[in-house]
Structure 1
Amino acid sequence: MRKKKGNERNGGKSNKKTRRNAPRSVLPGQKHQNTTHFATTSRSLRSVLPFPFHSTPAASPRLLLPEAAQSNSPRRSRRGGATARASPIPRTMEAALKTYFGFSGFRSYQREIIQKVLEGRDCLVVMATGSGKSICYQIPPLVTKKTAVVVSPLLSLMQDQVMSLKQHGVKSEYLGSTQTDISVSGQAEKGAFDVLYMTPEKAVSLPSRFWSNLQAAGICLLAVDEAHCISEWGHDFRTEYKQLHMLRDLLVGVPFVALTATATQRVRGDIATSLTLRNPHIVVGSFDRPNLFYGVKSCNRSMAFINELVKDVSKNCTVHEALVAAGIKSSIYHGRMGNKAREESHRSFVRDEVLVMVATIAFGMGIDKPDVRCVIHYGCPKSLESYYQESGRCGRDGLPSVCWLYYQRSDFMKSDFYCAEAKSQTHRKAIMESFMAAQKYCLLATCHRKFLLQYFGEDRTTDCGNCENCTRTKNERDLSKESFLLLSCIKSCGGRWGLNLPIDVLRGSRVKKIVENNFDKLPLHGRGKDYPPNWWKALGGLLLAHDYLKETVHDTFRSISVSPNGYKLLSTADKGDGASLFLQLTAEMIELEGHGGSQCKEEGLNPLGPSESEKISEDELKIYQVLLNVRMQLAQDIGTAPYAICGDQTLRNFAKFRPSTIARLANIDGVNQHFISHYGSIFIQNITQLAKELNLPVDDLSAVESIPAAPKPTQNNLPRSLGGAKFCSWELWQKMKFSFQKVAIHLHYRRAVPIKEKTVISYILDAARDGCEMDWSRFCEEVTYEMIQTFLAIEGLGLSDQVFGTVPTDGIQSKTSEAPKTTSNGSEVGADVCDASPLTKRGQTDGSLICGDEPASKLQKIDGQGVNSTAATGATEDAILELVEGRNGVSLEDVVKHFNGSKRECVVEMLDNLEGNFLVYKKNGCYMIM
């Protein structure tokens, strides 16, 4: 981003009119006249426009960021950086998901997998790139407070993941050849990290002492990422992965989790056997990536092709030299570069300093950047599995993105090159089969997505309407005559050759091989001169795809012969039936015929625009642009990637929702506790100011709904009369295990009016009366008047008091028990959780009335001198909330001093509970109300 001073832009004079009308962004503590202007770059439009790469700056609102405001950044915090803050300890998977990653609900299969891991069961997970596999091994250590070890093949990928996790407040590190901190290994051995990454070579070379010490400290799982590398039938077999089974004997009782985005049934079996997985829980998700547009184009890689790409460089990515010559800011990454140069290229791309990276496959697979908008393959890939994974680095945040593949027929001659790396005959055969599948994908005239999904064993019968073949103008033609010629020529040549020789016969060639075999004497010789060789090759690809031809893999070559279906077609022609054969012409065939029509319905290489739900207004786009630049400036200040602070989709939701308070900001998916503490106030101030300048309302609850639509209860007799608020209250409490107070807060977000806990309780009881399932054993966390209501409701339903499970009948004491005195701020005096009556003042609870998964410290934990003490003030969560709200910011020491009737660790635990439930947050060492 290039800084522009005012005198540069306006001939030495300040353009006050422009400054007054343009939306501005500020950081706290600064006045507008002291700001600096920045030109907006194409980065600010990457998630909204069809394609992100633009060579000219867009005319858009300017970003005004004062330099002094950077002192608020985590890098300059006295607490020692963004990762130094102690995070609350979540008690559930959902709490960990929201606290650390900012999401209010799991994606498909995630919760199921995490639950199995927490139960100690091995898992084999096959899920598409971008579907959230990493959450499956990142949540368990945050719940159990034990280390998760993750084996990953790529150092750069590990480094990106560690950087991102640290920005989420998760303690993480990696062990590998590029780790320069010699203390990391020692800390890891003592269980100092939540997530510990390492290469497979490092994992098998570590001494047994390391693993025994780590297991003693606590290890909750060992995850093997990119697990397809274990199998010889996988597309990226690595021998060091085969040795990981040795860790089984060292990590007794530790669940192993194998994860991959691409694994056929054969590969899955190989993975389970190699890792000696014990009765693994196997999950195979959908391979479909609906936000990706797939396209394939043939090219000859001549200078004309290079010039064509550079001419449309805002929508294409070609070789680095051509981009530089065209004035496009790009970088390059390949194996011949030094480590430092590669690291600089990698860092410049993940931090959005360059928008185009020309790189080898190693870079693409080693990138953990969710907002890549376009991946272009410059050549046929070695396998369909590798292409799916490599193209899958695109659009991992769920926003529309594009995958293009350029190929030329000489790419298909690389089989010997790929087979040279084979470790065995089985491996060689697997490589050849995968390479042939990739060729078929290149030559396909039908739906690309359907072909991909069917290849991976997924049942897909309809076209997607979202790939190049589905969106371009259809061009179907009767190719029975041409097909008869090619099939007959292949048959006459004996089916012992590749495709080139029969085509040369049809074209009338008299090369030595044709003459020696007397193929120039065949009646078909010279009958196919009307079409160029590549047209016939494209037709051969079509006939292969439709099973009229078959390809046989030999040791060093492949032969083409007529299949049974092909013989049936020839027999009908011999009988004079004249059966038609309508086939969809490929883009290459159309281009060779000179008919055109191979372009997509929309101009350019990205016909995939945003869906209706993703579209934002012009004013919202202005806010989004400024927020992108705010994020960029913050990322540059602390030395991290912009996406590590928050995702593009989260910023889009900020622009649409425009939250005005920290509490409403926290309600948006993607906002975690770390983001709130370090950046929340900065974004709130920018959003509210921009909304005011653009005359937009704040807190637009209709724009963003962070809580996913609740599934209906399974009871068939659920009355239709149950209102939305009642059902939502029941669902949040029963299904998501929210407390009454947290349910009230979420209802407040949804309805924009305060909701009392008493109202929430009445809603839940109404749902119970209407037939909704209830977990009565955890219903009453407080014994108050509402508790009496509960007993009356249970009695009215004809249930016995046995529904309380572990609640002892003698836990309910007399109503006449004396209630403790209260202070002026509402906190109880002289209360003791062990002696207090369950029917005393609100906030005093008998621990026996709290179910096992909700500890007694949830509401209060007081260690005073007993009920007769009047000198000490005991702490409850409600009392702490009142204190924090009343003072609008209070330090931990002040809280401990105020509640001198409770031990320090009890107060800290309650503050962690409040912080984990997003009721308070910590900023500059002080607790503040949400």
Structure 2
Amino acid sequence: MANAPTMASFPSLESALKHFFGYDDFRYYQRTIIEQALKGQDVLVIMPTGGGKSLCYQLPALLRLGVTIVVSPLIALMQDQVRSLKDNGIAATFLNSSLTFAEARERESALLNGDVKLLYLAPERLMSPNFWPLLERLQQTVGIASFAIDEAHCVSEWGHDFRPEYRQLFQLKQQLPQVPMIALTATATERVRQDISQQLRLKEPQVFVSGFNRQNLHYEVKPKTKQSYDHVLKLVKQQPGSGIIYCLSRKRVNEISFRLKQDGISALPYHAGLSDKERQENQEQFIRDDVRIIVATIAFGMGINKPDVRFVIHYDLPRTIESYYQESGRAGRDGDPANCTVFFSYADVATVEYLINQKPDEQEQRIARQQLRHVINYAESAICRRKIQLSYFGESFPGDCKNCDNCLNPVPMEDWTIESQKFLSCVARCQERFGMNHVIDVLRGSRKKRVLDLGHDRLSTYGIGQDHSVDEWRQLCRSLLHQELLSETTDGYSVLKLNGGSWQVLKKEIPVNIHVIKRPEPEAKAKANDVVQLSGDEALLLEQLRQLRKRLADEQSVPPYVVFADASLRQMAQQRPITTAAFSAISGVGKRKLEQYGKTFTETIEVFCRSHNLTPNTVAADAAAATTSSSSSSELTATQLTTHGLFQQGLSLSEIAIERGLRLGTIIDHMEHLMAANYEVDLGRLVSPERQVPIFEAIEKVGAHSLRAIREELGDTYDYNEIRLVRAAWEGKK
């Protein structure tokens, strides 16, 4: 690959991004991470599922000399990554046990000839003594650009999926200290991050934590009853696209998948009791959209990278908040809205407790019970579910996410200051040595042997809380913890401790308001991130494009999303591009995909437009032609057109920024360009009509060249963003 492009081949990182992957903008910290990687700096990346971790090492690999070696824990995962890269025209391969001897030798030869940019390996193969001679030859011939350690939480004993073989990867730094390393994972507490850096021997690593908030996911908890299967069936029928249903046991997996098939839903099981071949075949059918639903055991990881999973249902209780974050995070990796539902019952709690009791180590049991309490807290709480999840990872979140059942259907608040004082006084009287259940027993005047043996029936707080149920006191305790008016130990015992906030409550310096826990389940829920509605024609065209994508994917034996993501197809259905220039403006269409699929898709769109008497969209091509003689600032890009499409669908500028992972200022800049190019934009949705008039008058008076001059004419009650938008509309009308 002597003529392979390097960073010098591109005017900017953005142009390289568009060339290889078809995207116009970086997300979150991607650009900064890539810049550090290109400088040869060791990097640790904590980025949520769907946030674009893979791009952080894939793009630098394509812009540097030599091969990048990627450590991946699962064969299915590395095969999926390599498939996607190859479909973008990127030289990638893997070496694992699925290959024959001849296939492995052929790929090793390609590596040594410099024909491969990314090599995926399992840690066992990489650290095998038999592999090191090839590693040394690679370094001497084509060079090793970097090591990328994917799923890096597997390195740490404190992570949720520790793998001993990952502990050997420190030898890479010992043998090849000059080769930079990037470690990546979706979840890691501060303790796990430190352990990853130490175990991999990272040298002064730049650490990037982009946050754990998956804004596109809707979270809800439903009570589990005898009719829960009927509720699951209803959810599956109501929600479009692919889904995963998690269960605790193989028996339940087989039962649910069998019943779904009887009810006309294409579903397959996935658990450790199946043969390797059957699991692989079931997974492949799911990835390729040949089957809609996979029903899997919680204990057995899927190891998939399917971006367009639209819902994840936990039919049984997840064991920890961290595992729930990972499992629910398999939904909506493409950034589109997705739903995550948990069915909760105390029968499941008893099952998990039984499994915990089977653990031989007492300390492991204590920690597992504390983790279970976190899950019960999540399921029973009436506060923002996102707030509970994020606080688990040490991330502050104010609540009111407007995308969980509790925030969309809030429970009334009541003043429970007096009850809080009773509860905190009881914690104090018990000398801060007990957990929630014991404190509640004392408050309610329990005659349990432990309460009597400790003499806690003689405390002044004994029996003063009989007017409230156990569930109500539990809700109060959880609320005090969430409001940081009470603390709890994290050593596995969950002992309640008073803090500064507790004493403020006891001294009557601050009130305490909590949610009333009893409420009927609403029949219908509005969702802040509901799927954008398409018109009838757009929906029909989208379905045809999906069928075309499926056919092309089957011809190449790849999953449909490797051809194009759902978001790209939806944009095609809305914009109806029939020219090369218009099609290249679609998000996700890079040089390779334009050459490979452009003609097929544009012809399909053109035929559809003719048969439905619709006007095809050549605006991107026309805009490009019309602006060749004007400045580049007036040219419209694919990312600006994407913003326009979302705005036309009713999203506010803030919602568009959240949806796309971009700054609000960037979205406003897009709107300026769109209005200046005479695109249809309802200015009244951006700036109220009564505020538009003075801005227009100020522009007429002082001119449009200086924002500062316009604002000085208007005064401090007008901000620069609304001035920018009105000015763009004014310039578009000139």
TM-score w.r.t. structure 1 length? 0.59
Between the aligned partners of 1:662 and 1:291, the Cα distance in structure 2 is 32
The residue identity in structure 1 corresponding to 2:479 is L
1:608 pairs, out of 521, 529, 532, with 529
The residue identity in structure 2 corresponding to 1:404 is T
The residue identity in structure 1 corresponding to 2:337 is P
SS at match of 2:577: coil
The residue identity in structure 2 corresponding to 1:209 is P
1:329 pairs, out of 244, 259, 266, with 266
The residue identity in structure 1 corresponding to 2:199 is S
Structure showing the higher helix proportion among its residues: 2
1:584 Cα offset (Å): 1.8
Between the aligned partners of 1:241 and 1:424, the Cα distance in structure 2 is 26
Between the aligned partners of 1:705 and 1:116, the Cα distance in structure 2 is 36
Structure 1 match to 2:165: 240
Structure 2 match to 1:343: 280
Structure 1 match to 2:670: none
1:648 Cα offset (Å): 0.5
Structure 1 residue 255 corresponds to structure 2 residue 180: yes
Structure 1 match to 2:710: none
1:730 Cα offset (Å): 13
Between the aligned partners of 2:71 and 2:354, the Cα distance in structure 1 is 31
2:196 pairs, out of 242, 253, 271, with 271
Between the aligned partners of 1:219 and 1:194, the Cα distance in structure 2 is 10
Structure 2 match to 1:227: 152
CA shift digits 1:572-631 (9 cap, x unpaired): 5xxxx9x8532123xxx21xxxx41x438626xx66313xxx543221121111111111
1:289 Cα offset (Å): 2.5
Any residues of structure 2 matched to 1:766-845 within 5 Å, and which? none
Report if aligned partners of 2:154, 2:166 keep a CA contact under 8 Å in 1. Answer: yes
Distance 1:287 1:318, change over 3 A: closer
Structure 1 residue 559 corresponds to structure 2 residue 495: yes
Structure 1 residue 725 corresponds to structure 2 residue 631: yes
Report if aligned partners of 2:385, 2:406 keep a CA contact under 8 Å in 1. Answer: yes
The residue identity in structure 2 corresponding to 1:110 is Q
Distance 1:362 1:204, change over 3 A: farther
Between the aligned partners of 1:280 and 1:580, the Cα distance in structure 2 is 45
CA shift digits 1:22-45 (9 cap, x unpaired): xxxxxxxxxxxxxxxxxxxxxxxx
Structure 2 match to 1:358: 295
1:456 Cα offset (Å): 3.9
Report if aligned partners of 1:173, 1:184 keep a CA contact under 8 Å in 2. Answer: no
Report if aligned partners of 1:208, 1:250 keep a CA contact under 8 Å in 2. Answer: no
SS at match of 2:145: strand
Structure 2 match to 1:393: 330
1:694 pairs, out of 602, 606, 612, with 612
Between the aligned partners of 2:461 and 2:354, the Cα distance in structure 1 is 32
CA shift digits 1:111-141 (9 cap, x unpaired): 3333332332222222222121111211233
1:521 Cα offset (Å): 6.7
SS at match of 1:164: helix
Distance 1:679 1:455, change over 3 A: same
Between the aligned partners of 1:107 and 1:419, the Cα distance in structure 2 is 44
Any residues of structure 2 matched to 1:474-873 within 5 Å, and which? 474-484=411-421, 486-487=423-424, 490=427, 495-504=432-441, 509-517=446-454, 532-553=469-490, 557-560=493-496, 563=499, 565-566=501-502, 569-570=505-506, 572=508, 581-585=512-516, 589-590=517-518, 595-596=519-520, 598-599=521-522, 602=525, 608-610=529-531, 614-701=532-619, 725-727=631-633
SS at match of 1:470: helix
Between the aligned partners of 1:703 and 1:235, the Cα distance in structure 2 is 50
Report if aligned partners of 2:160, 2:322 keep a CA contact under 8 Å in 1. Answer: yes
Report if aligned partners of 1:443, 1:541 keep a CA contact under 8 Å in 2. Answer: no
Between the aligned partners of 1:455 and 1:390, the Cα distance in structure 2 is 16
1:372 Cα offset (Å): 0.8
Between the aligned partners of 2:620 and 2:637, the Cα distance in structure 1 is 20
Between the aligned partners of 1:422 and 1:185, the Cα distance in structure 2 is 45
Report if aligned partners of 1:402, 1:608 keep a CA contact under 8 Å in 2. Answer: no
The residue identity in structure 2 corresponding to 1:193 is V
Structure 2 match to 1:289: 214
Max Rg structure: 1
Between the aligned partners of 1:150 and 1:430, the Cα distance in structure 2 is 33
1:115 pairs, out of 31, 35, 39, with 35
Structure 1 residue 213 corresponds to structure 2 residue 213: no
Structure 1: give runs of 5+ residues left out of the alignment. 1-84, 707-722, 733-746, 753-769, 771-930
Report if aligned partners of 1:231, 1:271 keep a CA contact under 8 Å in 2. Answer: yes
Q: Aligned residues, how many?
A: 616
Structure 1 match to 2:91: 171
1:138 pairs, out of 52, 58, 61, with 58
1:412 Cα offset (Å): 6.2
Report if aligned partners of 1:233, 1:430 keep a CA contact under 8 Å in 2. Answer: no
1:398 Cα offset (Å): 1.4
SS at match of 1:303: coil
Between the aligned partners of 1:312 and 1:385, the Cα distance in structure 2 is 24
Report if aligned partners of 1:153, 1:199 keep a CA contact under 8 Å in 2. Answer: yes
SS at match of 1:685: helix
Distance 1:437 1:625, change over 3 A: same
Report if aligned partners of 2:308, 2:331 keep a CA contact under 8 Å in 1. Answer: yes
Moved more, 284-293 or 520-529: 520-529
Structure 2 match to 1:920: none
Report if aligned partners of 2:246, 2:298 keep a CA contact under 8 Å in 1. Answer: no
Structure 2 match to 1:799: none
Structure 2 match to 1:848: none
Between the aligned partners of 1:571 and 1:628, the Cα distance in structure 2 is 64
1:95 Cα offset (Å): 5.0
Any residues of structure 2 matched to 1:369-518 within 5 Å, and which? 369-409=306-346, 437-458=374-395, 460-461=397-398, 463-484=400-421, 486-487=423-424, 490=427, 495-504=432-441, 509-517=446-454
Report if aligned partners of 2:405, 2:525 keep a CA contact under 8 Å in 1. Answer: no
Report if aligned partners of 1:468, 1:600 keep a CA contact under 8 Å in 2. Answer: no
Moved more, 174-183 or 723-732: 723-732
Distance 1:237 1:108, change over 3 A: same
Between the aligned partners of 1:149 and 1:256, the Cα distance in structure 2 is 10
Structure 2: give runs of 5+ residues left out of the alignment. 240-244, 248-252, 639-672, 679-704, 706-734
SS at match of 2:173: helix
Report if aligned partners of 2:155, 2:199 keep a CA contact under 8 Å in 1. Answer: yes
1:640 Cα offset (Å): 1.8
Report if aligned partners of 2:189, 2:394 keep a CA contact under 8 Å in 1. Answer: yes
CA shift digits 1:346-395 (9 cap, x unpaired): 11111112222221346655110111111223455444443333322221
The residue identity in structure 2 corresponding to 1:559 is V
Report if aligned partners of 2:73, 2:123 keep a CA contact under 8 Å in 1. Answer: yes
Indicate the RMSD between aligned Cα atoms, in angstroms: 4.1
Between the aligned partners of 1:276 and 1:419, the Cα distance in structure 2 is 36
1:514 Cα offset (Å): 4.3
The residue identity in structure 2 corresponding to 1:204 is M
Report if aligned partners of 2:67, 2:116 keep a CA contact under 8 Å in 1. Answer: yes
Between the aligned partners of 2:630 and 2:374, the Cα distance in structure 1 is 51
Structure 1 match to 2:711: none
1:177 Cα offset (Å): 3.7
Between the aligned partners of 2:50 and 2:206, the Cα distance in structure 1 is 21
CA shift digits 1:307-352 (9 cap, x unpaired): 4434554258576424542513212211222101111221111111
Report if aligned partners of 2:576, 2:616 keep a CA contact under 8 Å in 1. Answer: yes
Structure 1 match to 2:665: none
Structure 2 match to 1:184: 104
